[in-house]
Structure 1
Amino acid sequence: MSVKTWSEKAVSLAGPAGKLDVRLGQHTVSSDASAALTEERIGFIMCHPHPLYSGTMDNKVVTTLVRAASQQSLDTIRFNFRSVGQSEGEHDHGKGEQDDLDTVVDYALNELGWSQVFLAGFSFGAGVACLYAGKHAEKVHGLFLVAPAVHHFDAPSTLPFEFESHVYMGDADEVVPFDEVEHWVDLLTPQPHWHIFEGAGHFFHGRLIDLKKSFLEDLLRIIN
């Protein structure tokens, strides 16, 4: 009987503004190397919250969803945007960060051989992921936005029809105005799946298990 395990390793990519610090999570099969070589690889990429407010790839929401995706046999990537941690460059208010994400997605598709990319982001990272997905729908198979900071990016009025989108929001968010996100979701075409967590704050303190459960249910519907 083969045993599949997941582990992360540090990877350095040449990004548009310098080195990007990446954590690549991959599965290995202990007893049958050929299975690991022939199995189709699909993966999950997660973008972190605002760099100017201590947001990094080690954020709890980021790592929670990354680990959740890994439990469904997806390979994973989390990474630091330019200027964060060991990633080089200067903060670019979301524009250059989309280029950083493009580097990571192309690495996953072209070098790692992923056949599908599921993309997610939290707060600022949700904005980056949303704008990127709108421009590169052909590279994305599902979009998951947690507390998207619609007041900090040029939130679009439409989402791609090529894949399903999900928005997760606590109605007690103290950072991103809940009413603004709800209004944005109401006006979007096509309508994303809208998940409200009663009493949850921005960082989902005490509610990460609930967020993980909801995310996994939505992910499983797409990949199965």
Structure 2
Amino acid sequence: MNNRIVMALYQTFVKRGFATLRFNFRGVGKSQGVFDNGVGELSDAASALDWVQSIHPEAQSTWIAGFSFGAWIGMQLLMRRPEIRGFISIAPPANMYDFTFLAPCPSSGIIIQGDGDEVVTPGAVQKLVDKLRTQKHITIHHDTIPRANHFFEHEMVDLMGSVDRYLDMRLDPNCPIR
């Protein structure tokens, strides 16, 4: 949760007035437990969402955002929670984990990838984007950040610019994507 990409996502949602939570998955930082190959981590994410919703039952919409492994978990949570209205998926590890569960994907969102990513291959992410774009009733945006490595080391301004432009568009009351 202290990763600079996660922190930047957190801050951008807070600035927009969202009730926002960032957390470590089990076994990360001072969290209890051990890595569970995505099973326990999905349970962690669902419990975190339940908690936020219990504290803020007046929330008008729910979004999910994740980076790398967190993007994979976030997309799985999206499939299980119909109240999630949008997603931001940064460097989803499409070459490492199975994303076939996204059929059909229930919500529109954006996938952002660095073209110099040495961990998540841009080709695998493009294949995922192409597959999702064939589905009806959702819109998948895809931004590729030039020169960006997996951690967007020197391209954080470009990464967050992409996130902000997408949120500006989706949160505009006149946006046709809902």
Same fold (TM over 0.5): yes
CA contact (8 A) 2:111 2:142 kept: yes
Equivalent residue number for residue 89 of structure 2: 145
CA contact (8 A) 1:164 1:192 kept: yes
Provide Cα deviations, 1:119-147, integer angstroms capped at 9, x if missing partner.
Answer: 011000000001110122x1201111000
- CA shift for structure 1 position 221: 2.0
TM (normalized to structure 2)? Answer: 0.87
Question: In structure 1, what is the Cα distance between the partners aligned to 2:29 and 2:98?
Answer: 26
Unaligned runs of 5+ in 2: 173-178
Question: In structure 1, what is the Cα distance between the partners aligned to 2:83 and 2:38?
Answer: 19
Equivalent residue number for residue 88 of structure 1: 32
Equivalent residue number for residue 123 of structure 2: 179
In the alignment, residue 72 of structure 2 is paired with which amino acid?
A: G
Equivalent residue number for residue 201 of structure 1: 149
Provide Cα deviations, 1:154-211, integer angstroms capped at 9, x if missing partner.
Answer: 21253534x3211000111011111111112112243511111111111111111111
Unaligned runs of 5+ in 1: 1-56
Q: 1:132 aligns with which of 68, 77, 86?
A: 77
1:1-224 maps to which residues of 2 (within 5 A)?
A: 57-113=1-57, 114-136=59-81, 138-156=82-100, 157-161=102-106, 163-188=107-132, 189-190=134-135, 192-224=140-172
SS of residue paired to 2:21: strand
Q: Identity, % of aligned pairs? A: 31
- CA shift for structure 1 position 223: 2.2
The 4+ residue runs of structure 1 with deviation greater than 6 A are none
Provide Cα deviations, 1:92-111, integer angstroms capped at 9, x if missing partner.
Answer: 11111111000011111123
Question: Which structure: larger Rg?
Answer: 1
- CA shift for structure 1 position 149: 0.6
Paired residues, what number? 166
Question: In structure 2, what is the Cα distance between the partners aligned to 1:159 and 1:215?
Answer: 24
SS of residue paired to 1:76: coil
RMSD (Å) for aligned C-alpha atoms:
1.5
Question: In structure 2, what is the Cα distance between the partners aligned to 1:62 and 1:159?
Answer: 27
CA contact (8 A) 1:170 1:202 kept: yes
TM (normalized to structure 1)? Answer: 0.70
CA contact (8 A) 1:172 1:200 kept: yes
